[in-house]
Amino acid sequence: MASKLLVDIHTHVYLPRYASLLRSRTSVPFIRSSTSRDGKLDERLLILDHEPSGGRPVGPQYWDRDEKLQFMDKHGIDVSVVSTANPWLDFLPASQASTLAKELNEDLEQYCSDSPILPNAPIKRLYGFGLLPLVPEITTKSLLDTVEQISKLPHLRGLIIGTQGVGKGLDDEALDPVWTAIEAAGLVVFIHPHYGVDNKAWGDKDNGHVLPLALGFPFETTIATTRLILSGVLDRFPSLRLLLAHSGGALPQLSSRLASCIDHDPVVASRLKHDARYYLGKLYLDAVAYGPEELGFASDVIARSGRYQTGASVTGPAVRSLGSQRMLFGTDHPFFPPLNSTEKWKSVVENLDAIDAVQGWTQTDRDGVRGGNAVALFNLVG
């Protein structure tokens, strides 16, 4: 039964406590309220610098659990593993981030723990990724305390992080004690973008959110993960379970180029135990890439990783089917809403259709990507 579930592992929330904080602020990130001509409350979310078009409309789909469940029902999603949306606590001073992380983790546990149980399996409908207070000047003790808190909250099965670490990125050795604790606790780390790259890259034309979202977000994930690889984190913490947003961004397509560039720099190459492509097989990727060719290719890149382990004797083509076992369905809800509120969300339908259309995946593989892999990775029982 559990192998046929549809599980959404990329789905966000601004918990009420977090939404209140955003409403209290007047600079990014914040929620700006106004009253429209017909007397209705109009709330706009501004989370990016230079947010185009005055922010995006927000409403209860961002904070109300019933809305999440309704969305899930509408699309046949059995279980969601929910995470706070970007920019998390990145913008807060250390003491406030530390306190709020703990409160929001408790809030999210509550959000999940009294959610309905599936009719046919001993599985709740909601699980969660906790938050760490990853901000400059935070103490390691505060980070470790929060890892411990998350590991003890029964419905939190991982944590979501951005790419800034404690100010110097995820390749900062100051994070080694945190990776140690996360690895020991068996928590899944969901790496998610927020900052993109320098806005100057997008030029003068008004293309709305298209360039920062379509390109900047995946570039950021690609850079952060590559820096993790180059800094040896995946060598030092081989059991760390990292889940990358948006199918790893551009990392799969640039991974052989990356390996070649490393190969031509003996100093960098000497620091790594394996060819860069080996490490992609240690990752988990969401299946939020909107196209079957992208998903199939990402699974190829996972599947081929064995060829690139130092000393490996594996040769021959990648077995795409194997790579599917590290890919997991997601929706990015409540972002990318439909233009007409009564229809099924195109962003969801496209990702489901893409899973169905990947060449070389068996029905078992598709069922895995739709939910079976998530049940296993997050140990979704109880």
**Residues of span 79-108 touching a second copy by CB under 8 A:** none
233 makes contact with a second copy (CB under 8 A) = no
Among 29-37, 179-187, 217-225, 369-377, the segment contacting a second copy (CB under 8 A): 217-225
| 185 burial level (CB within 10 Å; 0-12, 13-18, 19+) | middle
Among 1-9, 40-48, 149-157, 285-293, the segment contacting a second copy (CB under 8 A): 285-293
| 11: Cβ contacts below 8 Å, ≥ 6 apart | 68, 80, 81, 82, 83, 330, 331, 332, 333
For the beta carbon of residue 216, count every other beta carbon within 10 angstroms.
22
Segment 2 to 31, residues that bind a second copy, using CB under 8 A? none
Type of residue numbered 245: A
Applying CB under 8 A, among 252, 334, 371, 372 the residue interacting with a second copy is 252
- Residue 17 or 227: the one with the smaller Cβ distance to a second copy is 227
HSE toward the beta carbon, residue 39, CA cutoff 13 A? 0
Applying CB under 8 A, among 47, 85, 160, 262 the residue interacting with a second copy is 262
User: Shortest gap between Cβ of 223 and a second copy (angstroms)?
Assistant: 5
Q: Are 277 and 259 in contact (CB under 8 A)?
A: yes
DSSP SS3 for 281: coil
290 makes contact with a second copy (CB under 8 A) = yes
Applying CB under 8 A, among 6, 138, 240, 354 the residue interacting with a second copy is 354
Applying CB under 8 A, among 29, 130, 162, 218 the residue interacting with a second copy is 218
226 makes contact with a second copy (CB under 8 A) = yes
Among 139-147, 150-158, 247-255, 373-381, the segment contacting a second copy (CB under 8 A): 247-255
**DSSP notation for 99-121:** HHHHHHHHHHHHHHHTSPBPTTS
- Residue 104 or 262: the one with the smaller Cβ distance to a second copy is 262
Among 57-65, 111-119, 178-186, 286-294, the segment contacting a second copy (CB under 8 A): 286-294
214 makes contact with a second copy (CB under 8 A) = yes
User: Shortest gap between Cβ of 69 and a second copy (angstroms)?
Assistant: 23
**DSSP notation for 316-353:** S---HHHHGGGEE----BTSS--SSTTSPPHHHHHHHH
Q: Are 271 and 313 in contact (CB under 8 A)?
A: no
60 makes contact with a second copy (CB under 8 A) = no
Type of residue numbered 122: P
366 makes contact with a second copy (CB under 8 A) = no
User: Shortest gap between Cβ of 272 and a second copy (angstroms)?
Assistant: 11
Among 23-31, 116-124, 147-155, 333-341, the segment contacting a second copy (CB under 8 A): 333-341
291 makes contact with a second copy (CB under 8 A) = yes
- Residue 23 or 344: the one with the smaller Cβ distance to a second copy is 344
- Residue 131 or 259: the one with the smaller Cβ distance to a second copy is 259
Chain CA centroid to CA 62, Å: 17
Inter-residue long-range contacts of 297-301, CB under 8 Å, 24+ positions, other chains counted? 297/252, 297/253, 298/247, 298/248, 298/252, 298/323, 298/327, 299/323, 299/324, 299/326, 299/327, 299/358, 299/361, 300/252, 301/252, 301/255, 301/277
Helices in 26-168 by DSSP H: which ranges? 65-74, 94-113, 140-152
How many chain residues touch a second copy (CB under 8 A)?
A: 73
277 makes contact with a second copy (CB under 8 A) = yes
249 makes contact with a second copy (CB under 8 A) = yes
Among 35-43, 75-83, 144-152, 212-220, the segment contacting a second copy (CB under 8 A): 212-220
User: Shortest gap between Cβ of 125 and a second copy (angstroms)?
Assistant: 26
